[in-house]
Amino acid sequence: MSYDFLRLRVSETVRHIQKRTKKRPAVALILGSGLGDFADLLDNAVSIPTSSIPNYPHSTVVGHAGKIVIGSLRHSGRSSPTLVVFKGRVHFYETGDLTPTVLPVHVAHALGARDLIVTNAAGGINRTYSPGDLMLIRDVLSLTFLGDRQFHTSDAILPNAPQLPGGSSRQRVAPVFSPRLVALVRNAASAIGLPMREGVYCWLKGPSYETVAEIEMLHRIGADAVGMSTVPEISAAATLGMDLLGLSLISNLASGISPSKLTHDEVTETANRVKHQFAILLKHVLVRL
């Protein structure tokens, strides 16, 4: 799909949202597999089913209800900035096209959000990890080799965008996580006594889970966790100049590390078990932004 298609979808979606609410979000949050319930914790929220938005793409994956929720959070006597929360995502493997996958990022940016927090469920490759661990994403590997043009949609949205660091606005901007947001998460994890992993997230296209040999390869090249999302969104956001934070919930041990066969049910069951801890951590961070 073309840049024009993306521009049209963004303006249609933004118009639709701005008809429903005058709130202007400063922070965007994309909720991964099994983590969508976090959106229900927002106060005075406006919740917009994505099915009501003309031509908005829908996820076909269980645990990815399509909703955009705008509101704020209260926690320990503090309030968060206004948030736009995307409950459910469209993975690249569902369409073979990055446009629906990066659309929420462009919508959030057009609504005014400058921080993006991306969450996912991921398979643990690092042998010290256990299902239910939370991992702060320190860096990413992309083995889809979808670079360059596919990510460089910012010039469609920002036709007069200033030259981005590293060259033309069509050049990929490697996502770098925000030191400010990383420090906030580390402080939050230690304040609430939550052991936090830190590692490299590897994006594979999916939709099938990996072979044992593939996981061994990923281990050798430095991946700590593997999943089928997040890199497109953070790459688009980096190109738009947003500040980034990525969090993985280790929902299972990756193929060959776990003796049992992996299923999507295991992913959502683990997410259900630890989503409460995940919510406490996120609330702690969001009310300090």
Least distance to ligand HPA from the beta carbon of 284, Å? 24
Least distance to ligand HPA from the beta carbon of 34, Å? 9
Q: How many residues bind ligand HPA (CB under 6 A)?
A: 13
Instruction: Give me the active site residues, please.
Output: 33, 64, 91, 93-94, 121, 228-229, 252, 264
> Do 26 and 111 contact (CB within 8 A), yes or no?
no
Between 32 and 57, whose beta carbon lies closer to ligand HPA? 32
Mask of contacts with ligand HPA, 180-219, x by CB under 6 A? -----------------------------xx---------
Q: Is 246 in the site for ligand HPA (CB under 6 A)?
A: no
Least distance to ligand HPA from the beta carbon of 14, Å? 30
Between 71 and 246, whose beta carbon lies closer to ligand HPA? 246
Least distance to ligand HPA from the beta carbon of 208, Å? 9
Q: What's at 123, amino acid-wise?
A: G
Mask of contacts with ligand HPA, 248-287, x by CB under 6 A? ---xx-x-------x----x--------------------
> Do 127 and 216 contact (CB within 8 A), yes or no?
no
The residues, any chain, with a CB within 8 Å of residue 93's CB and separated by 6 or more, are 205, 206, 207, 228
In sequence order, what are the beta bridge partners of 244? 116
Q: Is 228 in the site for ligand HPA (CB under 6 A)?
A: yes
The residues, any chain, with a CB within 8 Å of residue 28's CB and separated by 6 or more, are 83, 84, 85, 86, 104, 105, 108, 109, 111, 113, 115, 116, 117, 242
The backbone region for 33, taken as left when phi is positive above 0, alpha when psi lies in -120 to 50, beta otherwise, is beta
Q: Is 123 in the site for ligand HPA (CB under 6 A)?
A: yes
Nearest to 208 by CA among 130, 91, 119, 63: 91
Residue 26 is given by DSSP the state: S
Q: Which stretch binds ligand HPA (CB under 6 A): 21-29, 116-124, 161-169, 171-179?
A: 116-124
State the Cα–Cα distance between residues 268 and 24, nearest whole angstrom. Answer: 31
Q: Is 88 in the site for ligand HPA (CB under 6 A)?
A: no
First to last CA, the chain: 35
Which residues of the shown chain bind ligand HPA in the complex (CB under 6 A)?
121-123, 209-210, 226-228, 251-252, 254, 262, 267
